[in-house]
């Protein structure tokens, strides 16, 4: 029987509560679909930082390298200055493990309310492939004359052809395998590049040339579109049905995926994967630690459950992943009153039970 070694990092705030439900669903799936999970918990997060001053040490990264996958709850603590834990844990893991893809499905599940008038699950059904290793996230830059009236701050967007090409390759392959034609819900598989070629004439010029070269040569079966990032924000609201697979740089990807998340029902449901297709990937609900709901049993665990679902898909347990996907859809369509914390009509662990029971059926 196949055994997956999974590092579990519940983290801060409501992270442990939602992670417990994701693990519950994983256990139901492994019992049903004939694989095993070997879970090891790590306490990286705000409490540990307060106790020891340590975020994610290099020795922790070396530990994490030994796993097949990482399941993360949430990082962020009200007593810790913003940036320390995000940079020291989340971004450190992404960079040290070279998780160069951030995969963010934007899918509206049945029964879930969207702020987009007149749009439903058929229209809101696309995926953002966000490059996750470069851009303004590399920390390239600095200050001169800091603290004076003449202070200058520079923070550069950085991309190498290598980074761009490996991301585009992933995105084209993803569009071929999971695009709208491949899923039987459209007539073609489309990859759209989201950029800003009218102003960022170096960075997105590189992206655009690499995009068309690779598409022409290796992926002639995939339709290529291009949108400026500002216009993309408009169309994500007005005509989300135009999109299939989008690919973009790290910073634009960060911004547009939060817009995407709110159109799919918000932080209760949105999940993301930090992928190293050749190494160790890390899956997370994107909502954060929600300190004000900590310990109340009211937070929605579906995003964490969807993160576990994505993890199984990437690990190759496609049947189990599909079953969890269907179970979550059943629960949103037939059970939950709302996705919002405290308004679901069920407690956190009851929602986990509802999904786990569906998976076990």
What does the DSSP assignment read for 145-169? STTSTT-EEEE--B--HHHHHHHHH
Q: How large is the C-alpha radius of gyration of the chain?
A: 20
| Strand spans (E) along the chain | 3-11, 36-41, 69-74, 101-107, 125-131, 141-144, 152-155, 190-195, 223-228, 245-248, 271-275, 281-285
CB contact at 8 A, 234 and 201 = no
Q: If contact means CB under 5 to 8 A according to the sort of partner, which of Mn ion, ligand IPM, none does residue 90 touch?
A: ligand IPM
Segment 280 to 319, residues that bind ligand IPM, using CB under 6 A: 286
Shortest reach from residue 271's CB to ligand IPM, in Å: 11
Q: If contact means CB under 5 to 8 A according to the sort of partner, which of Mn ion, ligand IPM, none does residue 246 touch?
A: none
Closer by beta carbon to ligand IPM, 179 or else 273: 273
Shortest reach from residue 104's CB to Mn ion, in Å: 9
Alpha-carbon gap, residue 79 to 81, rounded angstroms: 7
Q: b/e for 46-85, b at 16 or more Cβ within 10 A? A: bebbeeeeebbeeebeeebeebbbbbbbbbbbeebeeeeb
x-marked contacts with ligand IPM along 73-92 as a string, rule CB under 6 A: -------------x---xx-
Closer by beta carbon to ligand IPM, 131 or else 244: 131
Could you tell me which of 186, 109, 199, 218 has the C-alpha nearest to residue 157?
199
Token representation of residue 119: 């749009």
Shortest reach from residue 258's CB to Mn ion, in Å: 5
Q: If contact means CB under 5 to 8 A according to the sort of partner, which of Mn ion, ligand IPM, none does residue 86 touch?
A: ligand IPM
Shortest reach from residue 21's CB to ligand IPM, in Å: 20
Segment 185 to 224, residues that bind ligand IPM, using CB under 6 A: none
According to DSSP, residue 89 is labeled I
Closer by beta carbon to ligand IPM, 95 or else 178: 95
Is 225 among the residues that bind ligand IPM (CB under 6 A)? no
Helix or strand or coil: residue 48? helix
Shortest reach from residue 286's CB to Mn ion, in Å: 7
Shortest reach from residue 64's CB to ligand IPM, in Å: 17
Is 123 among the residues that bind ligand IPM (CB under 6 A)? no
Alpha-carbon gap, residue 271 to 327, rounded angstroms: 16
x-marked contacts with Mn ion along 251-270 as a string, rule CB under 5 A: ---x----------------
Segment 248 to 287, residues that bind ligand IPM, using CB under 6 A: 254, 286
Using CB positions, name the residue nearest to Mn ion.
254
Could you tell me which of 26, 109, 31, 100 has the C-alpha nearest to residue 313?
26
Could you tell me which of 288, 289, 287, 274 has the C-alpha nearest to residue 95?
274
Q: If contact means CB under 5 to 8 A according to the sort of partner, which of ligand IPM, Mn ion, none does residue 327 touch?
A: none
Segment 167 to 186, residues that bind ligand IPM, using CB under 6 A: none
Closer by beta carbon to Mn ion, 23 or else 310: 310
Binding site for ligand IPM (CB under 6 A): 86, 90-91, 254, 286
């Amino acid at each position: 029987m196949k055994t997956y070694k999974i590092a579990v990092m519940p983290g801060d705030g409501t992270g442990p509560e939602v992670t417990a439900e994701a693990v519950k669903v994983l256990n139901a799936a492994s019992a049903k679909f004939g694989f095993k999970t070997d879970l090891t918990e790590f306490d990286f997060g705000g409490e540990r930082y307060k106790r020891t001053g340590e975020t994610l040490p290099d020795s922790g990264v070396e530990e994490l390298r030994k796993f097949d996958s990482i399941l993360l709850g949430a990082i962020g603590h009200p007593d810790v200055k913003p940036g320390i834990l995000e940079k020291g844990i989340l971004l450190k893991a992404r960079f040290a493990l070279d998780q160069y893809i951030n995969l963010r499905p934007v899918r509206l599940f049945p029964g879930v309310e969207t702020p987009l008038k007149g749009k439903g699950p058929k229209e809101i059904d696309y995926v953002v492939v966000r490059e996750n290793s470069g851009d303004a996230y590399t920390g390239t830059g600095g200050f001169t004359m800091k603290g004076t009236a003449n202070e200058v701050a520079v923070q550069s967007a950085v991309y190498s052809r290598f980074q761009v090409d490996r991301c585009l390759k992933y995105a084209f392959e993803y569009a071929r395998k999971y695009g709208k034609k491949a899923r039987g819900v459209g007539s073609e598989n489309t990859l759209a590049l989201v950029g800003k070629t009218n102003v960022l004439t170096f960075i997105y010029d590189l992206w655009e040339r690499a995009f068309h070269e690779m598409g022409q040569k290796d992926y002639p079966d995939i339709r290529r579109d291009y949108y400026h990032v500002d216009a993309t924000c408009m169309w994500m609201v007005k005509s989300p049905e135009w999109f299939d697979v989008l690919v973009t740089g790290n910073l634009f990807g960060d911004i547009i995926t939060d817009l995407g998340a709110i159109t799919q029902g918000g932080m209760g449901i949105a999940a993301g994967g930090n992928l190293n297709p050749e190494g160790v990937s890390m899956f997370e609900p994107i909502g954060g630690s929600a300190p004000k709901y900590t310990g109340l049993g009211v937070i929605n665990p579906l995003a964490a459950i969807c993160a576990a679902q994505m993890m199984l898909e990437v690990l190759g347990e496609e049947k189990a992943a599909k079953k969890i996907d269907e179970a979550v859809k059943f629960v949103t369509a037939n059970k939950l009153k709302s996705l919002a914390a405290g308004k679901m009509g069920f407690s956190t662990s009851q929602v986990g039970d509802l999904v786990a029971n569906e998976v076990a059926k």
